[in-house]
């Protein structure tokens, strides 16, 4: 009996198709980015990179990421802890609500924030009277980025913590450990890998977020342009090489993320085979 | 340390949705140094009771005292209990040594022993559970029985007043279970702690406990020594839960129960429709009936296991077959084979009704 796809011809065909598609859709664009960025030679690449506005965009992107990742780490752990360790009315609803940022288009998210925090918005007007500006400034960018990336950590942790159960924590508390000790010495080591993985995903998305940020940033060159916005603006200015130079930075970050993810998975697989 | 449980009750579920009563108000007095088994089918509330004593769950009402100290509102952290879980619940990312040391390291700085003292104490405990050579291993590298011994050492590290065990041997295979039981009994006698363990295994409860608490549907059915429990069950539930049961149903008139062509004398039993029960070892067999009992049966199957031969007996006056256990000597003397017709002679019959238990002894030699 031949299982489906077991015939050598079929197998070769399937592998061939997969390879061609991967090359066409994934590899080629990646190569194209670097080819375009380096079209004018390495000198022009450096010149584009050290452009005042590009440097500002890099700085802003770093700032946004540095704020978003830790905030969402804490928030994600808190949420996963709440959902998996306690039973309360509305627990299921909360679990569904976590997914809203994934379900909703980032542009819509941006618009909602604009509505809330804009100068004529519900909260924005009140904040404005204290001279606090959220929209068209970095706090707005951080806010929408947090919104868009907040499910990543919780989504990684919830299934894991559900599977692991609370027995070890219960054992720890019967041994007299305080809440903080239990978290630090029992819970954290168990979820370490998932947490790191969640952070990597959050980081990747925070760096690359375009839709929501473009709505709330207002595209003020050198002030509220993150790297993805900078790419778009340079391209609209017919500065193709400049656009691709910035894009190559994003691509490089993406590759680093993938490498980190692969390394983590490899380590997890190795630990499993040892245990 | 004695444990006094009074009027503890618990109901699960939110208001509105289905509420289930896990524990009806329960009273239980455990003496210092006793080993008590909580026995019951799943859903009988035994684990809930244990977790309430531990402080892992909160009772709706009632009080718990450890000795003279009331602990009802005391946090589990401060109750000074040791708890052993069915699935060990060892810290999987810590070595065996660190698992046992956890409680000592978690002590507040002022009470915490020095590293050297911790080392001595942990090695002493591992010596006691005969796992000193495994100190640097991780839980996943140990067998189930070894993991449970580590869990025990960990629970005993802080010298708890009370040791609580939730189905401690439930996840282990029969042989290891037997070994660990004997070992726990030994440890209990040596260290003299008071312990309370949960099990659904009658044999385990009867073998290990000083007294057994039989529970069903959130209520205590009987508290007694294993011996009393087996010989004088308080009610039908206890009788049926503690072992195999044969049923005999018939009409009682003038001290004799009749059922089809079978009849047996039951002095002292009230007239009317009655159901009487008996254990397999209370069924004797003979080639002739006696005046007190005329119960013709046919041997339907034979299972020779261990010290006894188990027989299944059929008769047209029986709704379901009886089980009987006879000695090998008896088996040979009667020349028992499948299809052989014999007479059953009950040595005891047990009747249960709302008024209580009634045991009828019959003169069978």
- Mapping DSSP onto H, E and C, the string for chain B reads CCEEEEEEEEEECCCCCCCEEEEEEEEEEECCCCEEEEECCCCCCHHHHHHHHHCCCCCCEEEEEECCEECCCCCHHHCCEEEECCCCCCCCCCCHHHHHHHHHHCCCCCCCCCHHHHHHHHHHHHHHCCCHHHCCCCHHHCCHHHHHHHHHHHHHCCCCCEEEEECCCCCCCHHHHHHHHHHHHHHHHHHCCEEEEEECCHHHHHHHCCEEEEEECCEEEEEECHHHHHHCCCCHHHHHHCCCCEEEEEEEECCEEEECCEEEECCCCCCEEEEEEECHHHEEEECCCECCEECEEEEEEEEEECCEEEEEEECCCCCCCEEEEEEHHHHHHCCCCCCCEEEEEECEEEEEECCEEEEEECCCC
Of all residues in chain B, the one with the smallest CA distance to A271 is: B93
Average confidence (pLDDT) over B143-152: 93
Residue A52 forms contact with B (CB below 8 Å): no
pLDDT digits (tens, 9 = 90+) for B58-67: 999 999 999 9
Structure tokens at B314: 């059929």
Distance of alpha carbon A40 from alpha carbon A244, whole angstroms: 11
Measured between CA atoms, how close is A19 to chain B, in angstroms?
Answer: 40
Structure tokens at B188: 């209990």
Which residues make beta-bridge pairs with B324? Answer: B311
Share of chain A above pLDDT 70, in %: 96
Residue A89 forms contact with B (CB below 8 Å): yes
Instruction: Tell me which residue of B40, B19, B20, B12 sits closest to B220, measured CA to CA.
Output: B40
pLDDT at residue B358, as a whole number: 75
pLDDT at residue B364, as a whole number: 59
Distance of alpha carbon B290 from alpha carbon A176, whole angstroms: 67
Q: What separation in angstroms does the CA of A97 have from each of A73, A91, A101, A195, B203?
A: 18, 10, 8, 20, 50
DSSP letters spanning A27-95: IHHHHHHHHHHTTTHHHHHHHHHT-HHHHHHHHHHHHHHHHHHHHHHHHHHHHHHHHHH---TTHHHHH
Q: What separation in angstroms does the CA of A217 have from each of A34, A133, B62?
A: 27, 12, 61
For the beta carbon of residue A46, count every other beta carbon within 10 angstroms: 11
Size of interface A-B (CB pairs under 8 A): 63
Residue A173 forms contact with B (CB below 8 Å): yes
Q: Which of B56, B92, B106 sits opposite A175 (nearest CB)?
A: B106
Distance of alpha carbon B112 from alpha carbon A177, whole angstroms: 12
Residue B217 has pLDDT above 60, yes or no: yes
pLDDT class for B199, splitting at 50, 70, 90? very high
Residue A186 forms contact with B (CB below 8 Å): yes
Which residues make beta-bridge pairs with A85? Answer: none
Instruction: Tell me which residue of A23, A33, A24 sits closest to A250, measured CA to CA.
Output: A33
Distance of alpha carbon A198 from alpha carbon A202, whole angstroms: 6
Distance of alpha carbon A26 from alpha carbon A32, whole angstroms: 10
Average confidence (pLDDT) over B303-326: 90
pLDDT class for A1, splitting at 50, 70, 90? low
Average confidence (pLDDT) over A22-39: 91
B125 with B191: CB under 8 angstroms? no
Distance of alpha carbon B263 from alpha carbon B246, whole angstroms: 16
pLDDT class for B365, splitting at 50, 70, 90? very low
A105 with A210: CB under 8 angstroms? no
pLDDT digits (tens, 9 = 90+) for A126-138: 888 888 888 888 9
Distance of alpha carbon A221 from alpha carbon A97, whole angstroms: 35
Residue A5 has pLDDT above 70, yes or no: no
Q: Is A260 helix (H, G, I), strand (E, B) or coil?
A: helix
Average confidence (pLDDT) over B174-201: 89
Distance of alpha carbon B276 from alpha carbon B249, whole angstroms: 6
Instruction: Tell me which residue of B221, B320, B102, B315 sits closest to A174, measured CA to CA.
Output: B102
Q: Which of B14, B81, B154 sits opposite A89 (nearest CB)?
A: B14
Q: What separation in angstroms does the CA of A128 have from each of A110, A135, A212, A216, B332?
A: 19, 10, 22, 16, 102
Mutate which: A173, A174, A181, A186, vs B, most B CBs within 10 A:
A174
Longest dimension (CA), chain A: 77
Distance of alpha carbon B295 from alpha carbon B288, whole angstroms: 10
Question: Parallel, antiparallel, or unpaired for β B256-259 and B262-265?
Answer: antiparallel
pLDDT at residue A271, as a whole number: 73
Of all residues in chain A, the one with the smallest CA distance to B158 is: A175
B98 with B115: CB under 8 angstroms? no
Residue A76 has pLDDT above 70, yes or no: yes
Distance of alpha carbon A65 from alpha carbon B96, whole angstroms: 40
Q: What separation in angstroms does the CA of B324 have from each of A146, B285, B301, B331?
A: 73, 9, 11, 11
B358 with B269: CB under 8 angstroms? yes
pLDDT digits (tens, 9 = 90+) for B76-95: 999 999 999 999 999 999 99
A178: chain B residues, CB-CB within 8 Å: 77, 106
Q: What angle do CA B155, B160, B162 make, to 5 degrees?
A: 100
Residue B147 has pLDDT above 90, yes or no: yes
Out of A142-146, B93-97, B239-243, least confident range: B239-243
Q: Is A168 helix (H, G, I), strand (E, B) or coil?
A: helix
Q: Which of A167, A170, A172 sits opposite B102 (nearest CB)?
A: A172
Measured between CA atoms, how close is B19 to chain A, in angstroms?
Answer: 15
Structure tokens at B43: 């859903």
Distance of alpha carbon B133 from alpha carbon A221, whole angstroms: 67
Longest dimension (CA), chain B: 80
pTM: 0.80
Residue A174 forms contact with B (CB below 8 Å): yes
Distance of alpha carbon A14 from alpha carbon A27, whole angstroms: 18
Distance of alpha carbon A2 from alpha carbon B120, whole angstroms: 63
B129 with B149: CB under 8 angstroms? yes
Average confidence (pLDDT) over A8-21: 91
Out of B11-15, B124-128, B214-218, B257-261, least confident range: B11-15
Residue A274 has pLDDT above 70, yes or no: no
B129 with B187: CB under 8 angstroms? no
């Amino acid at each position: 009996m031949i299982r489906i796809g077991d015939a050598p011809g079929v197998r070769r065909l399937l592998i061939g198709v997969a390879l061609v598609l991967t090359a066409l859709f994934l590899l080629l664009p990646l190569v194209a980015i670097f080819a375009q960025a380096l079209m004018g030679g390495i000198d022009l690449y450096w010149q584009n990179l050290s452009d005042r506005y590009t440097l500002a965009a890099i700085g802003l992107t770093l700032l946004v990421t540095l704020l978003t990742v830790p905030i969402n780490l804490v928030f994600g752990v808190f949420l996963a802890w709440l959902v998996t360790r306690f039973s309360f009315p509305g627990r299921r609803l909360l679990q569904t609500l976590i997914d809203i940022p994934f379900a909703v288009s980032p542009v819509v998210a941006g618009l909602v924030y604009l509505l809330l925090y804009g100068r004529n918005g519900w909260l924005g007007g009140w904040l404005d009277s204290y001279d606090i500006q959220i929209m068209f400034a970095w706090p707005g960018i951080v806010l929408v980025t947090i919104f868009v990336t907040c499910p990543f950590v919780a989504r990684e942790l919830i299934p894991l913590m559900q599977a692991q159960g609370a027995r070890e924590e219960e054992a720890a508390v019967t041994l007299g450990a305080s809440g903080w000790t239990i978290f630090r010495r029992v819970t954290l080591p168990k979820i370490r890998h998932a947490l790191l993985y969640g952070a990597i995903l959050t980081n990747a998305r925070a760096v690359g977020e375009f839709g929501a940020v473009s709505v709330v940033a207002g595209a003020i060159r050198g002030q509220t342009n993150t790297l993805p916005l900078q790419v778009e603006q340079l391209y609209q200015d017919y500065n193709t090489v400049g656009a691709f130079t910035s894009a190559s930075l994003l691509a490089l970050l993406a590759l680093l993320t993938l490498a980190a993810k692969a390394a983590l998975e490899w380590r997890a697989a190795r630990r499993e085979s040892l245990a | 340390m004695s444990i006094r449980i009074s009027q503890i009750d618990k109901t699960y579920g939110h208001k509105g949705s289905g509420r289930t009563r896990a524990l009806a108000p329960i009273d239980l007095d455990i003496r210092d140094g006793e080993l008590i088994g909580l026995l019951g089918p799943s859903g009988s509330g035994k684990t809930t009771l244990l977790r309430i004593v531990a402080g892992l769950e909160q009772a709706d009402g009632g009080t718990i005292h450890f000795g003279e100290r009331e602990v009802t509102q005391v946090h589990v952290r401060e109750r000074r209990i040791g708890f052993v879980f069915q699935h060990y619940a060892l810290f999987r990312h810590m070595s065996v040594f660190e698992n046992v040391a956890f409680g000592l390291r978690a002590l507040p700085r002022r009470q915490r022993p020095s590293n050297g003292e911790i080392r001595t104490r942990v090695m002493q405990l591992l010596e006691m559970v005969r796992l000193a050579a495994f100190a640097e291993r991780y839980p996943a590298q140990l067998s189930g029985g070894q993991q449970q011994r580590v869990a025990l050492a960990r629970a005993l590290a802080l010298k708890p007043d009370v040791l609580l065990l939730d189905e401690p041997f439930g996840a282990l295979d029969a042989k290891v279970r037997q070994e660990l039981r004997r070992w726990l009994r030994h440890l209990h006698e040596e260290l003299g702690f008071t312990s309370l363990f949960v099990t659904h295994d009658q044999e385990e409860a009867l073998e290990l406990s000083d007294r057994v608490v039989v529970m069903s549907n959130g209520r205590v059915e009987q508290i007694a020594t294993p011996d009393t429990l087996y010989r004088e069950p308080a009610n039908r539930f206890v009788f049926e839960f503690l072992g195999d049961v044969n049923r005999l149903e018939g009409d009682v008139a003038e001290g004799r129960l009749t059922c089809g062509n079978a009849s047996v004398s039951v002095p002292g039993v009230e007239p009317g429709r009655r159901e009487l029960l008996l254990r397999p070892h209370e069924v004797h067999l003979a080639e002739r009936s006696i005046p007190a009992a005329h119960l013709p049966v046919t041997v339907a199957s034979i299972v020779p296991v261990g010290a006894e031969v188990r027989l299944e007996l059929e008769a047209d006056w029986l709704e379901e077959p009886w089980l009987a256990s006879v000695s090998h000597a008896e088996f040979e003397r009667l020349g028992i084979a499948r299809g052989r017709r014999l007479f059953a002679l009950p040595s005891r019959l047990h009747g249960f009704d709302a008024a209580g238990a009634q045991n009828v002894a019959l003169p069978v030699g």
